[in-house]
């Protein structure tokens, strides 16, 4: 599985000869728009900086609801959650997507705005790679993200939805989260297989795209 961060909460995932785009965004986020094709698109919620499935080429299957889905050898589970701490009263619903492919359990939390419930933790189950919002304000903050990581116990944590020099959102930088760990690794992308998940937890900050 190869995971490339496209900025904000958008990732391009290549696995088993298929490709997946999570939470593509419209103009105004600051990063280059996603250009290219994919087989699958997941959309965590219907906000402009997460729901630009129309930009993805190739007539992909677009998943934007909860439930279980199968696309050839890829299993997808959408778990209901909220964009805030008020059961959706402030910012609405959010969908957590678990993608199982190539023996790897990848979880994209979308714009999660709260600590997970026991029911959500049980529904998500095994988490190998966690794509975790850390910037606060619109999502959980660094402290809450750290607690969620303790809840799910992933092998690899990839922060997302944080401040960088090219976006203009009122959110914290990744360092507010990575400072909670003894070390973290920076990479242009993550290439991993199931056999590499036996190491202690790793925090990996992926490079953001620029024009």
What is the pairing mode between strands 10-15 and 2-7? antiparallel
Residue 17 resides in a domain: yes
Residue 211 resides in a domain: no
Q: Tell me the per-residue pLDDT of 59-94, one tens digit each, with 9 for 90 and over.
A: 999 999 999 999 999 999 999 999 999 999 998 999
Residue 32's CB is within 10 A of a number of other CB atoms, namely: 13
Average pLDDT over residues 172-181: 97
Residue 135 resides in a domain: yes
Residue 145's CB is within 10 A of a number of other CB atoms, namely: 28
Q: Tell me the per-residue pLDDT of 96-140, one tens digit each, with 9 for 90 and over.
A: 999 999 999 999 999 999 999 999 999 999 999 999 999 999 999
Residue 51 resides in a domain: yes
Residue ranges making up the domain that contains 184:
2-206
Domain count, the chain: 1
Residue 160 resides in a domain: yes
Residue 197 resides in a domain: yes
Residue 184 resides in a domain: yes
CATH number of domain containing 170: 3.60.15.10
Cβ(206)–Cβ(187) below 8 Å: yes
């Amino acid at each position: 599985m190869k995971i490339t961060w496209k900025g904000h909460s958008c990732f391009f995932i290549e696995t088993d000869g298929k490709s997946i785009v999570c939470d593509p965004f419209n103009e105004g986020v600051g990063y280059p728009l996603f250009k290219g094709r994919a087989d699958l698109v997941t959309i965590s919620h219907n906000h402009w900086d997460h729901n630009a499935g129309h930009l993805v080429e190739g007539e992909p299957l677009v998943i934007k609801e909860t439930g279980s889905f199968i696309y050839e050898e890829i299993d997808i589970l959408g778990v209901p959650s909220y964009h805030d701490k008020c059961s959706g009263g402030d910012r609405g619903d959010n969908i957590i997507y678990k993608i199982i492919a190539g023996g790897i359990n990848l979880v994209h939390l979308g714009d999660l705005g709260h600590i997970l419930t026991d029911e959500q933790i049980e529904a998500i189950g095994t988490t190998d790679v966690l794509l975790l919002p850390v910037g606060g304000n619109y999502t959980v903050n660094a402290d809450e993200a750290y607690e969620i990581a303790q809840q799910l116990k992933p092998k690899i944590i990839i922060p997302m939805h944080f401040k960088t020099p090219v976006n203009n959102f009122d959110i914290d930088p990744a360092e507010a989260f990575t400072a909670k760990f003894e070390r973290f690794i920076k990479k242009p992308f993550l290439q991993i297989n199931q056999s590499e998940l036996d190491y202690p937890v790793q925090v990996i900050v992926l490079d953001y795209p620029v024009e």
